[in-house]
Amino acid sequence: MNEDYNVPAGGWINVRNLQSRFLGGKEEPGSRIDKTVSRIVGKEVYAADPRLVRWVVEKKKMLPEGEDVLSHPEFIEELKQLFK
């Protein structure tokens, strides 16, 4: 029974980190900012932002293999509206 409580270092999950990523709260310091999307939108957007991830996945399904989502002007306008 003692072995059940031996969790390796790094095996714990920080609840604050989960809340910030999945509930739309503020990201933890040190999170990566997507510089390209931030420049397009005009404010800082984190690469792990659930809205951005969902949008990219949705748009990638619409495009042929290997085509960049940000090369389409209509998608860029939609992205700006998403982070307005």
17 φ, ψ (degrees, to nearest 5): -65, -40
9 vs 55: CA distance, rounded Å: 34
So what's the pLDDT on residue 41? 93
Digit-coded pLDDT (tens) for 12-55? 666 666 555 555 555 455 578 889 999 999 999 988 888 999 99
So what's the pLDDT on residue 84? 86
So what's the pLDDT on residue 74? 92
Mean pLDDT of 44-71: 89
First-to-final CA distance of the chain:
52
